[in-house]
Structure 1
Amino acid sequence: MIVAGQQNNPGISMAGAVDLGALKHKVEAEPGQVGGAPAAGAYVVDVTEGSFQAIVQTSATYPVLLFLWVPTDDRLFPMAKALGDAVNGLEGRIQLARIDMASYPSIAQALQVQGAPALIALIGGQPMPILQGLPQGDEMRQITDEVIPKLMDVAAQAGVSGTAPYAGDPADQTESDGDSGSAGAEELPPAHAEAHRLAAEGDYGGAAKAYEHLLETDPNDSLAQRERSKALLLARSGQANVRQVRERGAAHRDDVEAQLAVADIDMIGGQIEDAFNRLLDFLAGHKADTEAVRQRLLEYFAIPEPTDGRLQRARRRLATLMY
Structure 2
Amino acid sequence: MSSDRYSLPSDTGVGNAPATSAAAASPAGQGAGAEVVVPSLVAPVTEETFQGFIELSATLPLVVLIRSAQDLVSVELGPVLEAAVERLHGRVLLLTVEAEQSPGIVQAFQAQSVPTVVAVIGGRPVPLFEGQATAEQIDGVLGQLVELAAQSGVNGRARVDDSEPEPEPLPPLHQEAYDAIARGDYAAAATAYRTAIAQQPGDADAVAGLAQVELLSRVQGRTADDIRSAAAAAPSDVDAQLAVADLDLSGGHVEDAFDRLLTLFADADPDGRTAIRERLLDYFQVVGTTDPRVASARARLTNLLF
Normalised to the residue count of structure 1, the TM-score between the two structures is: 0.43
Q: State which structure, 1 or 2, has the greater radius of gyration over its C-alpha atoms.
A: 2
